Structure formats: structure tokens, C-alpha cells
Chain A
């Protein structure tokens, strides 16, 4: 085509009216898609949420020019939600920080700093603080640690990065290592882990298409995991019923068949009522329940249910507010080994479980010993089934209506759909996320769903299960390779000072003798070998003594208290923004203001890096910049396109993302940071004879580096995580691990990800070339299984329950289990196998025990161990609640953790005087358009413009009651703080009728904060620190508050305003702290 005068072309060609080819310009003619001219396409994974959508990163001239969905992915099929679609801007926006900054103590502003100097200074600070705060002993027991340093963050990072963080900091004696998993889904690990044996989602995204009924409760699937939601649509298209149970009518509800509004924090009552309905009407899946759950197991005589204790189970100690769990045991069992805290010397064990131990069940169930008594007729009055019936008998539909505000007819509909769609031919799936986890009894919400799904026979079967939708891109990974205080890689518990002086004590106490945990010695020794190499020998307990010891809870919230108390002096933020994202944001900042030094590594200039100059307390005068002695380092992080590594998605799938380009400026990967930090510290400490330095100096720390910035090789780290045999060859599975020190393995559940020396996580066989399981896409733990406990998809005799729902079955001719998925069972163990009485380990499990990680091989309707606040879920009110508990005299979870502090006051609740000062229920949540604390969305123009301001959602009735005007401002206040937000009056926020009153709820997105392109007050200013005792997760999903029209007071008037409210409500230091 020639590009002369278009008029000539018009007059001479076919396009006479000059509206098509004739007027095409030369530039238009030369147009090519930039994707078509890219030098290369790099395979990557979305860095936002845990769906783990695959991305193609297009690179030209060493610059990323486009990022889009990879159509090959079986999960995402090429699609991306707005965040995934904004990754190009996230990673390449000129607004991203590229320069290292330093704020000396008391300084008013940042100064640029040379990166190498900054690294050196950080290394010095760590060494100094460590020396100054080192503790060899605490209360006469060896702890070998420092509480002077803490780190936070990991869910946005690669597994390899988390591994180095945990490895280096642990060797330095740091125990306060935490990440988002704590505040996000820690209660999931407890809830699912104790019920089934592993703390991860029992199924995977694509399997939703086989579901006949999808109940989404405690999750806003369509908004928080939009690309995963396509599988709900797929199920819907195939005839499924979709139900959304949520306080708000959300974008998920808009696409559902049925939306059930529920009072935030009341789900146990709702689920309990369904359980009761199922039991009362005999709707449970008998054969499944008898064979695969512990329904038949008989409990001890001294067990007392909460029904008989007005909300308290037997074993409660009012003083320590903890339970002795011995009486919750199975009859005929030896006393729990489960995390039993041993009184030294005597050998007598109490049932008190140390903090955070519940999460040990992240990869395998809670240990037990002995053979329990069973009554397979389920009639024995003390069998689990009968206990269950009695426990839930008062959870009637009427009670659900009173507690949850769910009208009877809606409740009936849910029951009908759920039970009609469960059974041999049908399966129903529950989907939840943090609407369930973030409660002061969050673990029990998940337990309740687990019980229900076990009763209905929906676990381990296609289209069934419990889909826990995790949060960040690798939050599952940061739990598996945990940057968590209480865990070692693979959910091996961190040793406690009081129980675990030596390796043998530890293994005896914590490794059960039945089930898969029986092999824990091999896992742990291999881990110690991976960390301390040659220095770890049998005669020195494989350097088990190098591990610092816990003495209680060191969760992120305990760390805040430690900062306020001056115990914790140095803080490293590795991609987390507690000044916005953590409960009681003000307390987070006050804690940081007490630090000697703070290192912030992030993509953007987040609030946790700048609170000392422009935080809310500077405005109110509660803090003065010049008086803040915290030295702050800001070190820009490399984005996922600038480094290689693996993310573990919400369904335990490890997916590798490849580096596309070099990071610009001072931006570096966290792998680089940890590796070089360790290198510098080791250089500085070289030759030290101080025993406290030995763990660092003995550490295996020689990773190959390459490139201009000396980036460590992430694959080498993955290979270490995978583990090696005595010849140094990569292992192919955890069954190969030995406890004699001949094998190494950085995380036993990931063993196999580097089988045959091949990065299995990087596999990308297109889904169009595989079946729906897509087993050759990346690699899932354990052993590349996608549906856990899939032995339960077959009858006890090994045949599928039905032809429609067959997944894994026993092939009698071949003498092995076979099917679509990798069987989650010993391959050659016949259904008829019964263990000999003295059997140990896996051998002790019979051919009909599908929950192979559980010591008894059964799904736990009743949790005799592993859950510290009760073996059965019980409805308690949230910490701050305008509603009196209609079921029990104990208003709140008696075992919950509260932290009385001037900045953390609690509300009077229920019928207590003053409760009416905070009469409304607040819940907090996400919007599709933003991401968590906003660091990855409020600085990104394309996302920022979609939701540009903090708002609150209220019903028309509440608006009328309080004079709130749509679009105007409102102030929301609790005993902690007050925030302002634009008013959104909407029918989507229904007011509830319960117990003869109208209850209004207020919805607050939690993404906003003072920095970025779009700003607003953070919802977390309102939340208190009050925690689930199992997992230390905070309660941010249900609290009480007041709302009034207008903007909040400014300056010193703000704290005054909050105090005036406290006074009116009669809030004191002990309000709300009683058991």
C-alpha cells in the first residue's frame, strides 16, 4: 500500500468515500503489537494474590514492555484480574522507589545513602543489638536467643527468600520472625490441620467445576480472588447451586443464587445449626462418617462439654485462662503427646499446649498415642457422634436466627441445597477466607465447617472439600517455609525452652508414633543438616542446640508489646505494612517509635517507612519527629519480574517465576538482601570464639551468585530446600529422608520439587495438553497431589462412591491405588489392610484410614488435641460486640488472648453497661481494586483511580438513624481511635433483625492509609489487638463502634474525642478482659 496523498487514493481506489483503506496513514500501516516485537517472553506469576495466575512478561531492550496472562495456565487460563492486569504499572511505574534512603535518629527527613554503606550499617546494627540483648537462659532454661530483633513479612516473597530469612535469623538467635500468615490465615492451619491432618485447602481451584453446591462463606470470592472465581462460574454453568453467606451483598452475591446476610462473627452458630439439622434429620453420610471420621471413637469419662459448663469445657484454669486438654482425650489412649508441656524431671505431662502449637498441624495432624476405643454403632453415650449431637442440640434454626440474624426460610434453603447436594453422587464445597479466620475464635469457625463437611462426606472427593482461599501470592509458602515464630520448615514446631532441651526430648514429645509424623526425626535431622552441614553431627544432636528456644508467644502482636516495653529494639520489615495492615495500627506505630532501628524493604514508600515524619500521631501531637530516636533504613525491593523464585499458591502449588530484567537502581531482591546480609555479618564475626556466634559461623551459606549485582542463585536455594541424598543428588520425595544425618532437606514437604535435578515448579505444560488435574503444571505439595485425602473418594472397599464422582480407587488386579490424581495414600496398601496391634508410623494406619496425617487416620469431628480453646466449636461473641451471647454465660471466648494497654482498650459488650455507646457492628474487608494495606495498589494509578477514597458502607436505615448523607463524611469511633470515611448508603449492607432488635452493620474496606496517590484513614486504627488463642490471629472482622456524621476531629482534639467516648462507655483497663 502506498502512502501518498490519501485524496488520490480515495479518488483512484475502491474507498471512494474516504472512510477506510484510503485514509490509512503510514504509521497505522506499520503498527505492530509490542508483544509481537518483544525480544523474549518470560514466564512469571502474578505477585498479588494467592490464586497464582500465570503471567507472560514481554521484554524488549531489557525493559519489560507488557505483562499479561499466560493462556497455558490451568488455573487462570490466561486471565488476570485488575491487579494482575496492573502489574506492568506496578513494576515499571516511575513512581516506584529505586534509591536507598536513611533517616538518622531524630532527623526530619530522609537522606540518600549508598546501598553498600546501608548494608554495612544494617549488619552492624544487627550485631550490636544482638550482643546487647542476647539471652542464654530464661528462668533457668537455655534459650540461646535475642528478643532484641524482630522481622515481619514474607507472604509477598518467594519461598527461597523466606527460607533464607528463616535460616539466617534463626541462626542469629532471632525468634520473633513473623509474616502475614499470622494475621491472615493462621487459624486455617489450626482449623483444617487438626480436622484433617494438613493445614492447607483440601482441594484445588479447578476442581470447583465438579461441585454441585458451592457455599462461599467468610470469603468474597469474586472480589478477592476474581480469576479463581471463573471456576465457580464453571460449576454454575454445569448446574451447581451457588450460595454466598456474608454480612454484605457483594460482587460475589451478585452472581450467586442465594445470598444469606449474616451478622459478622456469628458463623459458628450458623454452621452449628446446620450441623444440628444434619444430625437431627439423619442426613449425614453414614458409611463415610463411620469409617472415615472419629465419630465412633469414645471419649474419656471426665470430659465435660461447654453445654454443661455454660460455655466452658472441662479443664479450664481461670487464672491462666488456658485449658488442660487431657480430659478431651479419647478413652483408652495414653495421655496426649500433643505438644504436651512437660514438667521437667517428673515426666508428668499436663495437657497445656504451648502457644502456636496448633499450627504444627499445617502439614500433618496432631500427634496421639495408643489405640482408641470405638463404637461403630455410634450409640455409645460417650462416642464422638453422641457428644456432637448433645453439643449442637441447642443450635437450632431459631437460635441461628437470634444469633446470626438469618431468617428461618433462608436458613432452610441453605440446609436443603447443601444436604441435597451431598452424598455418593453429589458433592458440595465450602469456600472461605479471612471472613472466618480473623476472629478471636477463628480456628473454631473453620473447625465447624470441617465437621459439617466430614458429616456430609465431602472431604477428599471431587467437587467437595474446603477451599481456603489464601491471601498473598506466596502466603501458603511463607507458612510452609515459615517466617513464623513457632514453626520450622514443614510445620515442625520450634522448640520450647521448657520442654525441649535436647533433640531426643523434642522428638519424643513431638513426633507421634502413628501416622506420618512418625517420620519427623528424619525431617528434622535433614533440616538441621541442611542448615549446619558438617557441623551437625549425631554426637552434637545435629546442632539442635543452635535453635533458639521459645518461651511463650512471640507473635507479631507480642512483638509490638515487646517494642513498647523496650525489649525489642531492631525491626526488619520485609514486605509488610503493619502501620496500615495490622490491628490497632496506632499501636504498631507507637511500637516502632520505641525502636533503635528499623529496616523497611518495599516496592513503594509505605506508611510503615514514613510514620515518623507524617504519621497520624505527628498530626495529633502524640509523637514529635525530632523526639523519635528510631533510625530508619528504606531499601527498595526488586519486583517479581526482577528476580527468580517460587510462589506457593493457595492450593499448595509451587510455581516458579523467572527473572525478566535486572532491577534498576538500588532495588534488590530479598534473596540478595538476606544472602549478602548474612555474608557481611559472617565476615564481621569471622574468627569469633563467642559461642553465641557459632550458629551463624557454622551455617551453610555459600550460594552461587551471578550478574552485576551478585544475585544469589534462587534455584540453588530451591535445591537445598528440596534436599539431597548422601551423594549430593536431589531427593525425589520425603519418604527418602533419613534421621541418621545422611540426607539434607530444607523443608520436607517440599521434598520432590527438585526431583531429578529438575525444577518441577517451573513446569508449564499447557492445560490444553493435559487432563483437568493438570499434574504437569508446576508442582504441589505433598507429592504433587491436588486433592488431599483423596482415598476418601472411594468407599472403604476401594471402589468409587459413584461413577460420576470418581477420583482415586483401588485397582485390585494391579494391587494398587490408581485414579486421576496422585493417590493420597500408600500406593500398595490394600483397603483390607488392618494394622497389627504394635504397629508404628504409617503402618499403624489401616486400609480405610484416608486421613493419613492424623495419628488415628480419621477426620476429626471432635478434636481431642491441637485446639486450645475447645474440642468442639462453640459460639462466643467477638471481643467487642453489641450483642449478648444468647447461648452461654461466657460472652467471649474464655481462652482468647487480650492485651490490655492504654492504646488497646476494649469495649463493654452485650448487656454490660456502656455497651450501647458502641452500638454497631463493624466489619472490614477488601475491594477488587485494591490490595491489602495498599502498598501495591494505592501507589498504582490504574488501580488507585478505580477506588479513590476511603468509604464506609451503611444501610439506608442506619443512615437515617444517624443522619448520614450519601457522599458526605462520617466519623467511626472505637475505644482505640476514630477515623473518617465517605458515606456510601446502600441496600447491599442490610440491617439485621435478631432477637427482637434491629442491628446495623458498618462495612469498611481496610486498604487506605495516609500515603500514595489515594489516601484515607486506615480501618485498622479502630481494631483492637485481641487474638485467637490457637493461632494468634487478630479479630478484625467483627467489632463494635459508633458512627456519626461529619469529619473527625483533627490534631490533639482527636485523642480527646476518643477518650470522651471511652469515658461515656466507662471503659477501664480491665473492660472486656474477663474470661
Chain B
């Protein structure tokens, strides 16, 4: 299909494996990201959503830590909390740097582009704030910043990668819940890790975004989750919208032709027979 990534993703593609089973919900990743990228503060409202007050990813939050309190067991963990099961899940979310990235595909200016590391990056100086990328992203990641009028999201610290440094969020993560590196290697590591976690009784654990056969061709930032993706606010089966774009274009073409023919027919109705237009 015409809309695949140009550079084949295999060589030198880097990414994140975020292992939420060892996340302590400290939000250092959120803060480190903001410090490095000078992302503005994102509102000071109390949500009551457990310990999450930054709500979700957007132009002013590029890493977001979700907190989920559930009356379900976590492996063999003894939560000690009354007569019920209990677990507290924490997970740090980020732009997925999709193999097939809708945001990038739809961007009319070329502001969003695929870097030499296989990541997806907004070029602030190019973006004209058309906002198209925002509804295109199936994960609800990218947003348009009020103050600058341009789109913003995780760059996987493009500038740091250039300097041979790891992204700020991965660097700071106290428990190494965010692991950065060569994507292929991370995928292998993740598969091993999943086995380990399953063996420890966490049957609800699964990888998310690791599968290059999924609707976005696999993600550059993938996760080990301990529950269904939607519990963390992630779509269960995201599809890059441009997968259907060729078909869309065909339908658009047909409709346009129909319009042309129909209008022509209305004018020539009294004219030569056979020009009765489309029905």
C-alpha cells in the first residue's frame, strides 16, 4: 500500500518499552519531560482521579501517568485491604511514535515528519496550527497549544538523540519502568518480561503496541499493561485512519464525478437524450 513508511523501520529505529508493572507513579517522567522541552504547566485543577491531576496527553503534557484503583488482584500480591482484592495500577503514557502515524500522514505542511530514528516529530517552525493531526491521532496524543497556536507532542527528545543522549523521561525514571533503546531489542526484552510476569501470576498482563501487525503497524513506544488498554485510556484496537484513505479517495472521486455528471445532466435535461444524469 502506498502509505507505508518510506524508510523501512527496522534499521536503527529506537523506541520505548514502558513496563508499567514496575512503575511507582512518581511522575518524574512528566516533570523531566516538561523541564527538558519547556512545556508549560497544564492547569491546576484537582480531579479526584486517584493521584492523577494531569488528566491525559495533550499539547502541554507529553508524558502522562495514569492511576487506576481496582478491586482486582495483582498476581499473588496480598493487598491487606479489608475483605476485597485491590490493586493500584500506574502507567506512564506517551506518544506511540506509530509505524503508521496518522498525525504525520495528515499533516498538510510537513511539520510532522519521520526522523532518521523512526520517530515522529512536530516541527514547531513549520506547523501552522491547522489542527488536523489532533483528531487524526487514534490515541489522543497530540494537541494544539493555546499559547503558540501550534501542535505539540512528545518528540522522543529528538534533540537529545542527536547528541547521543537518552530521552529525558527515560533517563530520569527511578525504576527504569521506561526503557529506551533499539526497538527490536526492546521487543525481545518485552516478550521475555511478559513471560516472567505471567509466571508470577499476573495473568492479566499483556503487551500493547508491540505487534507490527496491528492497525498502526506497531508502535515505537509500546507497553506492558496489567489490564485492558481502555482501563488506562488507550484504544483497544487503534487503526491508522489513513489505512482507509485510498478507499476514501476512490469514493471521493466517484462522488465528484457524480456531481459533475449530475449537474451536467440537470443543464442538458432538455438537450440530447441519454444525458439524464446520475440517479
Contact = CB atoms under 8 A, between A and B. Distances in A.
Given A35-B160, A942-B34, A253 B22 contact: no
A20 B171 contact: no
A82 B69 contact: no
A396 interface: no
A949 B80 contact: no
B24 interface: yes
A249 B35 contact: no
Contacts of B77: 256-259
B27 A929 contact: yes
Given A79-B172, A942-B34, A1014-B44, 12 more contacts: A19-B110, A27-B124, A67-B35, A229-B24, A249-B79, A254-B74, A257-B76, A259-B79, A945-B42, A945-B54, A946-B27, A946-B30
Contact of A222 (B24, B54, B79): B24
A17 B123 contact: no
> Could you say which of B110, B114, B158 has the most chain A C-beta atoms within 10 Å of its C-beta?
B110
Contacts of A947: 51, 53
B45 interface: yes
Nearest to A37: B163
A19 B113 contact: yes
Nearest to B52: A946
Contacts of B53: 945-948
B168 interface: yes
A983 B46 CA distance: 11
B62 to A, nearest CB: 12
B81 A987 contact: yes
Interface string B5-33: 11100000000000000101111101110
B105 A19 contact: yes
A991 interface: yes
Interface stretch (A85-93, A98-106, A902-910): A85-93
Given A222-B26, A987-B82, A991-B82, A230 B176 contact: yes
B180 to A, nearest CB: 12
Most chain B C-beta atoms within 10 Å of own C-beta, residue among A229, A261, A987, A990? A987
A6 interface: yes
A966 interface: yes
A943 B32 CA distance: 11
B162 A31 contact: yes
27 contacts: A23-B126, A28-B158, A31-B158, A34-B159, A35-B163, A36-B163, A68-B172, A79-B171, A80-B32, A81-B174, A82-B26, A229-B174, A233-B22, A233-B175, A249-B88, A255-B22, A257-B77, A929-B27, A945-B43, A945-B44, A946-B31, A947-B53, A966-B48, A987-B82, A988-B88, A991-B82, A1013-B44
Of the candidates A16, A66, A226, A945, the one having the most CB atoms from chain B within 10 angstroms of its own CB is: A945
Contact of B26 (A35, A226, A261): A226
Nearest to A983: B48
Nearest to B61: A945
B81 A82 contact: no
Contacts of B121: 28
A967 B47 CA distance: 7
B3 interface: yes
Contacts of B168: 68
For B90, B165, B171, which residue has the most chain A Cβ atoms within 10 angstroms?
B171
Task: Name A's interface SS.
Answer: loop
A23 B218 CA distance: 23
A69 interface: yes
A356 B86 CA distance: 44
A320 B124 CA distance: 72
B87 interface: yes
Given A69-B171, A229-B24, A941-B41, A33 B88 contact: no
Nearest to A7: B110
A223 to B, nearest CB: 7
Interface in A403-431: 410, 413
Nearest to A1015: B44
Contacts of A259: 77-81
A340 to B, nearest CB: 46
A22 interface: yes
B32 A33 contact: no
Given A89-B35, A223-B26, A22 B175 contact: no
B44 A944 contact: yes
Interface of B: 2-3, 5-7, 22, 24-28, 30-32, 34-36, 40-46, 48, 50-51, 53-54, 69, 71, 74, 76-82, 84, 86-90, 104-105, 109-116, 121, 123-126, 157-160, 162-163, 165, 168, 171-176
9 closest cross-chain pairs (CB), A and B: A23-B110, A33-B163, A949-B46, A941-B41, A36-B163, A967-B48, A85-B32, A948-B44, A254-B88
A66 B46 contact: no
Which of B5, B82, B109 gathers most chain A CB within 10 Å? B82
A227 interface: yes
B224 to A, nearest CB: 14
A928 interface: yes
Given A251-B88, A948-B45, A32 B54 contact: no
B41 A20 contact: no
B35 A88 contact: yes
A88 B45 CA distance: 23
Nearest to A255: B24
A841 interface: no
Interface of B is mostly: loop
Contacts of A260: 80
A68 B109 CA distance: 34
Interface string A1044-1074: 0000000000000000000000000000000
Most central of A81, A86, A233 by chain B CB within 10 Å? A81
Contact of B28 (A85, A89, A966): A85
Contacts of B174: 79-81, 226-227, 229-230
B31 A258 contact: no
A942 B44 CA distance: 10
Nearest to B176: A230
A986 B32 CA distance: 29
Given A82-B30, A226-B24, A945-B41, A15 B80 contact: no
A1053 B162 CA distance: 62
B97 to A, nearest CB: 13
A32 B163 contact: yes
A78 B42 contact: no
Interface in A458-477: none
Contacts of A82: 26-28, 30-32
B84 A987 contact: yes
A967 to B, nearest CB: 4
B46 A6 contact: no
B80 A988 contact: no
A19 B173 contact: no
Nearest to A248: B81
A250 to B, nearest CB: 8
Contact of B81 (A80, A249, A256, A967): A249
Contacts of B26: 81-82, 222-223, 226, 251, 928
A261 B173 CA distance: 28
Given A990-B81, A990-B82, A66 B36 contact: yes
A286 interface: no
A18 interface: yes
B72 to A, nearest CB: 11
A595 B78 CA distance: 53
A89 B35 CA distance: 7
A828 interface: no
Contact of B24 (A254, A258, A988): A254
B159 A987 contact: no
B104 A249 contact: no
Contacts of B160: 33, 35
A975 B84 CA distance: 35
A413 B80 CA distance: 11
A928 B23 CA distance: 13
A16 B3 CA distance: 11
Contacts of B5: 19-20
Contacts of B173: 79
